[in-house]
Structures are given as C-alpha cells and as structure tokens.
Amino acid sequence: MRIFTSIILTTVFFISCEGTLDKNIFSEEGKTIETKQKTTAKTTTSAESSSNAKGTYNIYAPSIPKDLNFCGEKTPIEKEYIFEKLDRELLVNMYWQSQTFMFIKRAYKWFPIIEPILAKNNIPDDFKYLAVIESGLDNVVSPSGAKGFWQFMPKTAKGLGMEVNEFVDERYNLEKSTQAACEYLNDAYKKFGNWTLAAASYNIGKGGLNNRLTQQEVSSYYDLLLNKETGRYIYRILAVKTILDHPKSFGFNVTDNLYYQQPNYTTVTIDSSVTNFVDFAHKMNITYNELKILNPWLRDRSLPNPTFKQYAIKIMDK
C-alpha cells in the first residue's frame, strides 16, 4: 500500500453526473474562495472546505456522480455498501497520481485504436476502460501467464483465433487482441443479458460467474458475493472511467505536448519467412528496436513461414 504524506491540490472540482460543477474550491493568496451550485451527488461538508492558512496542504474526498453507469446500466450507488466500494476505487486512483497520470497519457495514444474496433463490433465504448484496469494500457505479463493489453491466457487467445507460439504472439497485437476481446464480450452479453455481467465474466470466466449467479439466486453483479478481485472489478472500471472522462475535475492536468502519441508508420505485408529481423529492419531503414516498438507481437529474431501466411508489419517513418 502506498502512503502519501503530502499532496498539494491547488484546484479541486467536484462533478455531477452530467459533468457540471457541484462545488469549486480554490486557493487565492492564502484564502479559500468557495462557490456553491445545486448539489446532485454526495459532496464534501463545509467543514472539509473551510479556510486554511497559506501553505496548508489539503486533501479532498472526491464526489461520485449521482447517475453513474456502465454501458448505460445504472450503478445503484444509493446502496451504502456499493457507494463505499466505488468510493474506495476512486480514492485509490485519484491519489495514486503517478499511475493515473500514466493512464491518462497512454489513453491519448491507444484509445484511438481501441475505440473504432469496439464500435465496429457493437461493443459499448466503456469497455476501453476494462483494458485500462487489466493492463494499464501496456503489454504486461501477469503471474498466471496472461499477456497483452487485454490479458489473454494462451488457450483463450487461440480459441479466439489468435496465433500464439514462440515466433508470433498476437496477444501483443493491439488490433487483433481488441477484436478477440470484442468476440468474447459479445458472446458473454448473449449469455448474461447485460454488459455489467459480461465485464465481470471477463475477470472470473463465464462458467465461474454463471455458477455464482445460480448458487446465490440473483441476477445482478451488484447483488453477488464474489472473490475480492472480481468483487472490485466493475468498481475499478467505473472509477477509472469517472476520472479519465474528467481528469481536470480530479486535479489531473496534462498539457497537449505531454500526451503520448503514436509514431507515424507505414505498413508492409510479408508472406515469406524472415531469417533475421535485425537485417530486415536495417533494409527498411529502421533499427531492430524501432521494429519491435511497433510490432511487439514478433517474439523472435526470425519468423518461419512455411504456409506463406500474410503478416502486416508496421515500419516507423523517418
């Protein structure tokens, strides 16, 4: 657990579900100025926003949008235990600033690739935040062997049509792994009838989720008693969604020149074996490192291709 002993917030905005401001609190020359508007969600008390001497550090609890939803499915935050679970995840992500800044910067780089693939497959846009909590939008490897932005295990990946071997691992191919995630989620939606349960099944598995729904005789994620990880799963997605949709409202400010961006590239198609990708890269006027940055799914310096399969390789522009 990380403990933060001093957090400076010069400006904190609390938002309603429509993104309008409930309360603005900001410091000016050592005094606190407060403007109030109609409150539509739980907010801080007046004691929490009282005047402080210049130089005093203040930490504020975030408010939760009243009509928060996942994929249009309402989150029942009127239930106190649900409010508390969601509040926990908001606090964790709001005050783990280094991690959340990385989410914001990477989202600028990777969401433009993920969003159109979700839309093409009729998957709600909110599922891009599932990728954030799964991997932090990075090609990470879990202790159990799940890999890539969408954290697929080898068997699941192969079952969804991805190539996984010592030379090629398409779990690291964002376009193909996002397409595979869409296929999984569409199938889960058909099985469970709502997107919240479909998202939960991504963590615990369709069979595991179905067993718990049957055993506990409920039909909603929010009514289920689950293991700790799955029990936090939807709340983590909702917290990341809330902050990334309104980063400045939670104190995260990034100027345009500091976002991460995709390098320009050209795509070439190969249908034969490659004996040495270092030589291949040099022939393309790039380094091997630059080749791997855009093609992390290439897992070896060579690629046998006896079936003449076509592979699309991104070549960084100079």
183-216 pLDDT, tens per residue?
A: 999 999 999 999 999 999 999 999 999 999 999 9
Give the pLDDT confidence of 146-165 residue by residue, as tens digits: 999 999 999 999 999 999 99
Give the pLDDT confidence of 255-309 residue by residue, as tens digits: 999 999 999 999 999 999 999 999 999 999 999 999 999 999 999 999 999 999 9
pLDDT band, very low/low/confident/very high, at 22 (cuts 50, 70, 90): very low
Query: Residue 5: is its pLDDT beyond 80?
Result: no
Per-residue model confidence (pLDDT) at position 54: 63
More confident residue, 296 or 54: 296
Domain boundaries, the chain: 11-63, 70-249, 265-316
Assigned CATH for 70-249: 1.10.530.10
Per-residue model confidence (pLDDT) at position 53: 52
Nearest residue to 195 via CA among 234, 163, 145, 236 = 234
Question: What percent of the chain has pLDDT above 90?
Answer: 79
pLDDT band, very low/low/confident/very high, at 7 (cuts 50, 70, 90): very low
Q: Which two tokens stand for residue 87?
A: 């509040």
